[in-house]
Amino acid sequence: MSDHPSTYEPKSGIEKWLDSRLPIVRLAYDSFVDYPTPKNLNYWWTFGGILSLCLGVQILTGIILAMHYTANADLAFDSVERIMRDVNYGWLIRYVHANGASMFFFAVYIHMFRGLYYGSYKAPREVLWLLGCIIYFLMIATAFMGYVLPWGQMSYYGAVVITNLIGAIPVVGPSILTWLQGGFAVDNPTLNRFFSLHYLLPFVIAGVVVLHIWALHVVGQNNPTGVEIKSKEDTLPFTPYATVKDGLAMIFFLIVFAVFVFFAPDAMGHADNYVKANPLQTPSHIVPEWYMLPFYAILRAITFDIGPIPAKLLGVTAMFGAIALIFALPWLDTSKVKSMRYRPVMRWFFVLFVLACIGLGWCGGQLPDNLVFSITTDAHGNPLGLKVVWLSQLLAVYYFAFFLIIMPWIGLKEDPLPVPASISDAVLAAHAKKKG
């Protein structure tokens, strides 16, 4: 925390000289060695370190790929094939980069759900949460533009669908769309813009990550109890306790990562992207990458107009509104208790929320008119039942209700369980329960 006194003592003459002019070693020591962390942190807190690892991997592999990639609509697809076939270990670098994006989002979703469950967005960590949300939004933008770069069928038509959504914005939408595309359709200027931004944004993300870590060290880490640090007995030094736990989690994460890279590199991709982009041949089913599917499902769930407002604009508003609610979360939760460990009613609504998000992801990958299950048949023998689009609408309603209705209302009405007086009390109680 910011009021934690520095314990770094430079020993050599060079260390003393540097410390008096640029105390970077002192900063690193105080931030990652002697930094006091709550003693009750579990493995859900290791995903912060895992995310830093993912960002480093993506930047490193991305720089190498950029050296061989050609941002030209006529040459992009062939340059990716050349990377795969002719560049030394190009296939490995590309598969690490492509699957690394999925691993990055997998880790960030766990990180966000952990923060939601344990109340890491509540005071005094509002700015910390907002910075994390900015990182997430930048990740979405970066991943989308990176998905376009191979210039395969799904890349091209994904860019067409998503960019055209901007045109639904009243008055300024068409002008922004033309500027973004560099013309009146997705073409070579679009690819150049996306490549430039895709290369730039990871470094912007890295800068916001630095601010995120800075804010974390100012307000201190949250913990499973949601109780703030009250004494030295509540803490342990970051090294070796947290670093060893983070290191072990990273090893297991890298094993899973390696399984996908070496044994199932295309499991999270789409076969149509191995076909060169053809503006005259539309794929039968256009879908984004899996980590954007929940928001894609919300977009498609709006199939009706409301007065003069068309369904397309309502869908775009709902999709961006779903992301905006995450930003507003610190001010939507009215409960004085942070951790859902002590909120039995809210815990069940949280479980339903996680299932709703998973369900939206599944719906986003299906055709809207497909049946989730059939109930009966019509006069012609065609099955009748729950359509994917109807399920998407139900899940989307619960998604918005969770933030706008359930969270504020339950926070006022719920009777939480007794919260421990300190972190040490919670640890000792858990230890006594295990022994008894």
CA distance 325 to 321: 6
Q: What percent of the chain has pLDDT over 70?
A: 99
Q: Does residue 174 lie within any of the structural domains?
A: yes
- Beta strand pairing status for 36-38 and 235-237? antiparallel
Expressed as residue numbers, the domain containing 128 is: 35-435
Q: Does residue 222 lie within any of the structural domains?
A: yes
Q: Does residue 54 lie within any of the structural domains?
A: yes
Each residue's pLDDT tens digit, 335-380: 999 999 999 999 999 999 999 999 999 999 999 999 998 888 777 7
What integer pLDDT is reported at residue 428 of this predicted model?
86
Q: What is the distance of C-alpha 117 from the center of its chain? A: 16
Average pLDDT, the chain: 94
Q: Does residue 10 lie within any of the structural domains?
A: no
Q: Does residue 22 lie within any of the structural domains?
A: no
What integer pLDDT is reported at residue 233 of this predicted model?
93
Q: Does residue 7 lie within any of the structural domains?
A: no
Q: Does residue 256 lie within any of the structural domains?
A: yes
CA distance 56 to 60: 6
- How many distinct structural domains can be found in the chain? 1
Each residue's pLDDT tens digit, 114-125: 999 999 999 999
In the chain, the amino acid numbered 206 is: A
Q: Name the region of 337 (left: φ>0; alpha: ψ -120 to 50; beta: rest).
A: beta
| Residue 1 confidence (pLDDT) above 70 | no
Q: Does residue 176 lie within any of the structural domains?
A: yes
| pTM assigned to the model | 0.95
CATH number for 313? 1.20.810.10
Q: In terms of Cα–Cα distance, which of 269, 69, 268 is closest to 154?
A: 269
Only one residue has tokens 């991305």, namely 62
- What is the mean pLDDT of the segment spanning 180-187? 92
